[in-house]
Amino acid sequence: MSTTTPVRPTTEGTPEAPHPQRLAAGLLDPALLLTSLPDALRKLDPRVMARNPVMLVVEVGSVVTTAIALTDPSVFAWVITAWLWLTVVFANLAEAVAEGRGKAQADTLRAARTEAVARRLAPDGTSEEVAGTDLRVGDRVVVEAGQVIPGDGDVVEGVASVDESAITGESAPVIRESGGDRSAVTGGTRVLSDRIVVRITSKPGETFLDRMIALVEGAARQKTPNEIALNILLASLTIVFLLAVVTLQPLAAYSGAKQSLVILVALLVCLIPTTIGALLSAIGIAGMDRLVQRNVLAMSGRAVEAAGDVSTLLLDKTGTITLGDRQASELLPVHGVRGEELAAAALLASLADETPEGRSIVTLARQAVQQEEALSSSTFVPFTAQTRMSGVDLPVAGGTREVRKGASAAVISWARERHAVIPAEVGGTVDAIAAAGGTPLVVAESGPAGARILGVVHLKDVVKPGMRARFDELRAMGIRTVMITGDNPLTAASIAAEAGVDDFLAEATPEDKMALIKREQQGGKLVAMTGDGTNDAPALAQADVGVAMNTGTSAAKEAGNMVDLDSDPTKLIEIVEIGKQLLITRGALTTFSLANDIAKYFAILPAMFAARFPGLDRLNVMQLHSPESAITSAVVFNALVIIALIPLALRGVRYRPSSASALLQRNLLVFGVGGVIAPFVGIKLLDLLLQYLPGIA
């Protein structure tokens, strides 16, 4: 089934509706920080903090130092206590800012949701007005110009122009019609012209808009397997350092250098991976947010993460690799068949074909047909992905005349079953069109006088500009691209060579797509694909990343784990890049977090024991002013670095297509070495400032 871009008529002077992605605030917008601060403070609830073991330990430490500062007050104790609480608040603020961007988007969507009155059709054809909340799956409703579509569904009758600006942010209306792959409509959108009948496919409260609101505001976000594994690692490191600090005090007391509880808490907080612990949740939320900003709705964080590990990309040819506007350009009759005769047969066989290609054949054929045949008693045969044919059965004297048009292999096989003689020139014409990158469709008929091939229809398509460069980038990422098409192998090979894909699957049926995905997955690969039709639903459900088009059918949107609101099949390439950016950002900040602990060892350990063991003063490579100043500088840096990295966590580390080894080398060089050097500089600068603070110097 071909994938096409939605028709978007030009509408000059129409004000563009406010769209969620345009309401996303800046990375550290003061207004967003201010509105997120109450949420950050509410997250101090230990029941909420328990989801983040690293920061829960910091909060418990803050409570302990607060109690000490109250019973035995000192400037040093109060400064350490204040910055420990700020460390927890900054961590919560990172998550709150990420969630706040989603809530701003959800508020816009919520404002677009309206409770509509529906005209429900009864089985006898009469209609009654009911509340939109009373609709059930399977109900049929009539929606006319100016009315709001009361619920998600599929158009089963009529064609209309629909305003979807509340969902997609695009002010230009789109066409929704029965049949084909542009039949799905979303509750809350408005019909601008004509009249359609919609079959409801969702329950009240479970519409696409409801799910969008829950997802973008984070209510439905679950931790991904990668995120859970990293949380376990961080919790394990926290336990190790906690045991190390607890056992340090008896040893310190034995050696005559017993430490205060405030210093031990400060040491623990500086040693555990607080930076990545504070930013981990924000990174995951921001990854989904970046997809929303590109008008892609991810049904789970797992899908976003899987996109970063995709190794095989299945792309539909029409509308993705090519412009998707295949048009009938020429009718080529075989020897002995008149051009008007072929045109009339092609017209008849295409009347039941709802695809854009079928309609283009109707348009071209009507230019050559003098008079159309009466079809009052005819039986139409619609196009399906399984038969790859369409046609009509006409009653004639002595029997039935069957006319078929479709893929060359399918129609020739159909004609042979009816004992037709296949002219040698048909194969040559089909091969010539395919070799030129076109799509040949064969027209045949069968009746009382026998079966015969009438000719070939030439469909033309064009590869989108810049596709070869995009595929080269994917190849550099280690991703194998496979073009999926219903065309014959020669046509597929020609387009594949021009576009630069790694492989192709020609004359693909839904079963073929499923089989290909399963083969790739059995080899340990993650597979991504796009689709828009009901016949794509099984493959979308099987794929690790299934991106359904918003213009597609409800079945496709239910089967996929992502929905592209712009219905741009090439968006899959951007989704993969966002997924990789998410994984790289998480890895980069984890590397930085672990690396910057090195400088804290050199700051705190000499400060704790240099007085008792003077030889340790050699480790004071930063020449920090005093033990109190050294410990305070490390704690303050530990808090400030979280705020400094929030923009990077929300924006993501810039991704450049390259091999895994090159990415690892860059990660270690920039964030590993940088994570070692930055704290030395930061702690030293803070020490220079703090040495003038009474009680610290």
- The CA distance from 441 to 445, in Å, is 14
Q: Is 566 annotated as a binding residue?
A: no
Q: Is 544 annotated as a binding residue?
A: no
346: nearest Cα among 381, 380, 390, 376: 390
Q: Is 521 annotated as a binding residue?
A: no
Host H or E run for residue 199: strand 195-200
Host H or E run for residue 450: strand 450-460
DSSP state of 7: P
Helices 673-690/597-609 angle, 10° precision:
40
Does residue 181 carry a catalytic annotation? Answer: no
Q: How many CB atoms lie within 10 A of CB 491?
A: 29
CB 163 within 8 A of CB 204: no
Q: What is the pLDDT of residue 374?
A: 67
Task: Write out pLDDT tens, residues 152-178.
Answer: 888 888 888 888 776 665 656 778 888
DSSP state of 407: E
CB 148 within 8 A of CB 521: no
Q: What are the start-end ranges of the H helices in 53-188?
A: 53-71, 75-112, 165-168
Q: What is the signed CA dihedral for 196, 202, 203, 207, rounded to 10 degrees?
A: -100
Q: Is 99 annotated as a binding residue?
A: no
- The CA distance from 180 to 24, in Å, is 35
**Cα–chain center distance at 215:** 12
Q: What is the pLDDT of residue 642?
A: 92
* Burial letters 561-590, b for 16+ CB under 10 A, else e: bbbbbbbbbbbbbbbbbbbbbbbbbbbbbb
Strands (E) across 276-378 are located at 296-298, 312-316, 327-333
CATH level 3 topology of 117-150+152-201: 2.70.150
Residues 6+ apart with CB under 8 A from 634: 266, 270, 599, 600, 603, 604, 683
Tell me whether strands 296-298 and 190-191 are parallel, antiparallel or unpaired: unpaired
Q: Out of 152, 316, 487, 564, pick the active-site residue.
A: 316
Residue whose pair of structure tokens reads 């519409």 in the numeric block? 207
**pTM of this structure:** 0.65
Q: What is the pLDDT of residue 413?
A: 92
Q: What is the CATH number of domain 323-462?
A: 3.40.1110.10
Task: Write out pLDDT tens, residues 243-285.
Answer: 988 898 888 888 888 888 999 999 899 889 999 989 888 888 7
Q: Is 181 annotated as a binding residue?
A: no
Helix (H, G, I), strand (E, B) or coil at 77: helix
CATH level 3 topology of 296-321+464-565: Rossmann fold (3.40.50)
Q: Alpha carbon of 133 to those of 18, 145, 156, 164, 287: distances in Å?
A: 26, 21, 21, 21, 33
Q: Is 289 annotated as a binding residue?
A: no
208: nearest Cα among 273, 154, 134: 154
Q: Take residue 169 and report the two structure tokens written for it.
A: 């942010």
**Cα–chain center distance at 118:** 32
Q: What secondary structure, in 3-state letters, does 217-285 show?
A: CCCCCCCCHHHHHHHHHHHHHHHHHHHHHHHHHHHHHHCCCCCCHHHHHHHHHHHCCHHHHHHHHHHHH
Tell me the domain boundaries of the chain.
Answer: 30-103+224-290+596-650+671-691, 117-150+152-201, 296-321+464-565, 323-462
- The CA distance from 548 to 536, in Å, is 9
Q: Is 384 annotated as a binding residue?
A: yes
Q: What is the pLDDT of residue 456?
A: 93
Q: Is 389 annotated as a binding residue?
A: yes
Q: What is the pLDDT of residue 28?
A: 54
DSSP 102-141: HHHHHHHHHHH----EEEEEPTTS-EEEEEGGG--TT-EE
Question: In the chain, which stretches have pLDDT less than 70?
Answer: 1-29, 32, 101-116, 166-172, 180-181, 205-209, 211-224, 319, 323-325, 370-374, 694-697
Q: What is the pLDDT of residue 6?
A: 34
Q: How buried is 666 (Cβ within 10 angstroms: 0-12 exposed, 13-18 middle, 19+ buried)?
A: middle
Q: Is 386 annotated as a binding residue?
A: yes
Sign of the dihedral through C-alpha 509, 514, 516, 519: negative
Q: How many CB atoms lie within 10 A of CB 17?
A: 17
One-letter amino acid at 449 equals A
Q: Which residues pair with 562 in a beta bridge?
A: 298, 547
**Cα–chain center distance at 110:** 21
Report, in angstroms and rounded to the nearest whole number, the Rg of the chain calculated over CA atoms: 33
Q: What is the pLDDT of residue 265?
A: 92
Q: What is the pLDDT of residue 257?
A: 80
Helices 597-609/627-651 angle, 10° precision:
170
- The CA distance from 195 to 197, in Å, is 7
Q: What is the pLDDT of residue 319?
A: 66
With vertex at residue 338, the alpha carbon angle to CA 337 and CA 343, rounded to the nearest 5 degrees, is 105
